[in-house]
Amino acid sequence: MKKVGNHNSISRKIVFSLALMLTFSFTSFSQTTPPATDAAAAPAAAATAPAAGTGDAAAGKALFGANCAACHALDKKMTGPALRGVAAKYDKEWLYKWINNSSALIKSGDAKAIKIFEENNKAVMTAFPQLSTTDIDNIIAYTSEPKAEVKAPGVTPDGKGAPVEESGLSNNVILGALSLVMLMLVVMLFFVNNVLTKVAKANGIQVAEKESSVSLWKAFARNQFLVLVASIFLLLASGYFVYGWMMQVGVDQDYAPIQPIHYSHRVHAGVNGIDCKYCHSAARVSKNAGIPSLNVCMNCHKNISEVSDTTNTDGYGKPFYDAQIQKLYDAVGWDKATQKYTGKTQPVKWVRIHNLPDFAYFNHSQHVTVAGIECQKCHGPVETYEVQKQFAPLTMGWCIKCHRETDVKMEGNAYYTKIHEELSKKYGVEKLTAAQMGGLECGKCHY
């Protein structure tokens, strides 16, 4: 008997077209290149634009950044007034005098000087006698540049940056290619099988039919021993998983709630390298690490009212970050325009991430100051977190594990001198773990 396969089967057509399509898409993926950095060229172009006046604007920019940027911006009032186009307002000689020693100028009774002093909340400007007239010229040149109308690259109006493609073959692409190859192999195998069957049929070879036997499932069901073993195994296995599931109840690892202000640890601790304990200063002396009060934020943010134009990563752009800083100003009651506190405050209701139950006592200073443990050990690589999350499971097992493994830092602490001597003799070891110091006793954390 000869059977002829249906060469026009729909499934074959579909499989073929799919294979074809994927082959093309593979090539298009591999050719993906990052969009040209045309946007990046814009600021550069602006920077190299011919400078107005006599000074060197490029040198002026450097000087401005080093000396003036703490209190002045080009286009915005900060502690001091906005400086773009300042040369147009005052004559150079007067500016030299003012920059070299403003308070002397004010004392001398100069009307303009007093006016500026009054306008800026009577904040005395630091004297810069070290700046030569050339330096000042350079700075003036920089401030006299026209405002460059640049748009941050790829920033969408809602403030979120468009995802940036990485150059080269990403892991996804490689994986896609591999799976495609696999798929093609499967398809080929199918065809080969089909062809071979057809050939066999054409040659009149009868493929041996399988003997109908008792199905595996029925055989299994008849063997009571197997059923018993299997059900015990199933019970144990399900018990294991149920237990595992139960044990994660109340464990909030990776809890990353939305906070009222999008505070980026990545920007602060990572990019700017601010020490954890600058803001969380209580961690040194208190059981609480403490969420910094807003006046701590204002130590820096009094002068930093916006992020740099190039801050644009992880999907957030300048307008977004600037809006967050504005939220801080609203909360602390800081009026950016007048550079004054309005007195209207609105405390920030942060969502607490690390919640220990009431019955567990934890003291930061014990771990941070006495033991000298890095914050990252429990809190993870915070300097890379755009959104803060709970890194550790904060379970008792996790605490105990560390107490068992960690040696107590005793050097240079007179408290431990005597106890270390005695205990190391007792245990016959030079290093003592927290557990050996009694760090596993219930009452050390539960009272």
Partner 1 sequence: MSSNKKYWKSVEELNENSSIVETLRNNEFVEEIPTDTFLSDKDSLSSSSTTRRDFLKYVGFSTAAATLAACEGPVHKSIPYVLQPEQIIPGVADFYATTMFDGFDFANLLVKTREGRPIKIENNTLVGAKFTANARVHASVLSMYDNMRLKVTKIDQKDATWAAADLKIKASLADAKAKGGQVVLLTGTLASPSTEKLIAEFIAQNPTAKHVVYDAVSESAALDAFEAVYGERALADYDFSKAATIVSVGADFLGDWQGGGYDAGYAQGRIPQKGKMSKHFQFEANMTLSGAAADKRVPMTVAAQKQALVKIYSIVTGASVAIGKIANEDVVVKAAQQLKSAGSKGVLVSGIQDKNAQLLVLAINQALASEAFSTAGTRQIRKGSDAKVAQLIADMNAGSVHTLIMSDVNPVYTLANSKEFVSGLKKVKLSAAFSLREDETASVTNIAIPAPHYLESWNDLVLTKGTYSLVQPTIRPLFSSKQFQEGLLSWTGNSASFYDYIKANAAVYLNGMTWNKALHDGLVVGAPVPTTAGSADYTAAANALAQAKSEGEFELVLYTKTGLGDGQQANNPWLQEFPDPITRVSWDNYITISRADAEKKQLTNEIVANGGLNGSYATVKVGNVSVTAPVIIQPGQAPGTIGLALGYGKKAGLKEEMQVGVNAYALYNNFNNVQAASLTKAAGEHEFACVQSQKTLMGRGDIIKETTLTVFTAKFDEPDVWNPTPKVSLDHKEVEATSVDLWESFDRSVGHHFNLSIDLNACTGCGACVIACHAENNVPVVGKSEVRRSRDMHWLRIDRYYSSEETFEQDNEKKESFNGLFGDKGSLGGFGQMESPADNPQVAFQPVMCQHCNHAPCETVCPVAATSHGRQGQNQMAYNRCVGTRYCANNCPYKVRRFNWFLYNNNDEFDFHMNDDLGRMVVNPDVNVRSRGVMEKCSMCIQKTQLTILTAKREGREVATDEFQTACSAACSSGAMVFGDVNNKESQVAKLAESNRMYHLLEHVGTKPNVFYHVKVRNT
Q: Which residues bind partner 1 (CB under 8 A)?
A: 250, 252, 257, 282, 285-288, 290-296, 331-333, 345-352, 355, 357-361, 363-366, 369-370, 412-419, 422-423, 426, 438, 441-444, 446-447
Smaller CB separation from partner 1, 99 or 331: 331
The DSSP symbol for 411 reads T
Q: What are phi and psi of 10, to 5 degrees?
A: -65, -40
Q: Which is nearer to partner 1, 39 or 373 (CB)?
A: 373
Considering the complex, state which of residue 75 and residue 358 has its C-beta at the smaller distance from partner 1. 358
- Shortest CB 80 distance to partner 1, Å: 24
What is the closest distance, in whole angstroms, from the C-beta atom of residue 361 to partner 1 in the complex?
7
Tell me how far, at minimum, the Cβ of 98 lies from partner 1, in Å.
34
Distance of CA 410 to the CA centre of its chain: 35
Q: Which residues contact 33 (CB under 8 A, 6 or more apart)?
A: 167
Q: Could you say which DSSP state residue 68 is in?
A: I
Instruction: Give whichever of 405 and 441 is closer to partner 1, judged by the CB atom.
Output: 441
**Least distance CB 266 / partner 1 (angstroms):** 21
State the DSSP string of 94-151: HHHHHHH-HHHHHHTT-HHHHHHHHHTTTPPPPP-TT--HHHHHHHHHHHTSPPP---
Output the smallest distance, CB 158 to partner 1, in A. 26
Cβ closest to partner 1, residue 85 vs residue 290: 290
Question: Which one-letter DSSP state was computed for residue 55?
Answer: S
Residue 376 CA to residue 382 CA, distance in Å, equals: 7
**Nearest CB to partner 1, comparing residues 304 and 440:** 440
Q: How far is the CB of 429 from partner 1 (least distance, A)?
A: 14
Q: Tell me the two tokens of residue 28.
A: 């298009």
Residue 102 vs 390, nearer CB to partner 1: 390
Q: How far is CA 12 from CA 9, 20, 62, 192, 220, in A?
A: 5, 12, 68, 13, 38
| Rounded CA separation 365/358 (Å) | 18
Q: Tokens 């060469």: give the residue.
A: 7
Whole-angstrom distance between the N-terminal and C-terminal Cα of the chain?
A: 87
User: Considering the complex, what minimum distance in angstroms separates the CB of residue 71 from partner 1?
Assistant: 22
Of 90 and 255, nearer to partner 1 (C-beta) is 255
Nearest approach in angstroms of CB 303 to partner 1 is 18
Enter the DSSP assignment of 193.
H
